[in-house]
Amino acid sequence: MCTAATYKTKDFYMGRTLDYEFSYGEQITITPRNYEFDFRFAGKIKSHYALIGMAFVAEGYPLYYDAVNEKGLGMAGLNFVGNAAYEELCRKMKQKSARWHSSSSSHGSLHSVLL
């Protein structure tokens, strides 16, 4: 389980842990302003602020654990084991991705679905 803490004075501070027994290959990642994101369900986003945070990068695509944009908006994807049920989504995605997924591509894999 991940833990997050916030501290607010005249500024705002946020910290969190990645409480995993091993690394998933996360790294400090910077996404430049207006880097084109092509979301599976939301379509393409061509205009956005720059981001910096911790992410696993899959085929050049950042899957952020947490990040903050250049205007100060931050997010953290906290893992609360047992509090989310994705079985239905996973089943639907496997059915849809079976039509176009190839063994040489991870575009149909689950980790990119939840972006």
Q: pLDDT tens-digit profile of 30-49?
A: 999 999 988 888 889 889 99
SS3 of residue 53 by DSSP = strand
Cα 56 from Cα 1, distance rounded (Å): 18
User: Within this chain, do residues 115 and 93 fall inside the same structural domain, yes or no?
Assistant: yes
Please give the model's pTM, rounded to 2 decimal places.
0.59
User: Within this chain, do residues 76 and 90 fall inside the same structural domain, yes or no?
Assistant: no
pLDDT of residue 99: 46
Cα distances (angstroms) measured from residue 6 to each of 14, 22, 42, 53: 4, 25, 30, 16
Residues near 14 by beta carbon (within 8 Å), at least 6 away in sequence: 4, 5, 6, 7, 74, 76
- 52-106 per-position pLDDT tens digit: 999 988 888 898 888 999 998 888 876 666 666 667 766 776 665 544 443 333 3
User: Within this chain, do residues 68 and 14 fall inside the same structural domain, yes or no?
Assistant: yes
- Domain residue limits at 107: 85-115
Q: Report, as residue numbers or ranges, the catalytic residues.
A: 2
User: Within this chain, do residues 38 and 56 fall inside the same structural domain, yes or no?
Assistant: yes
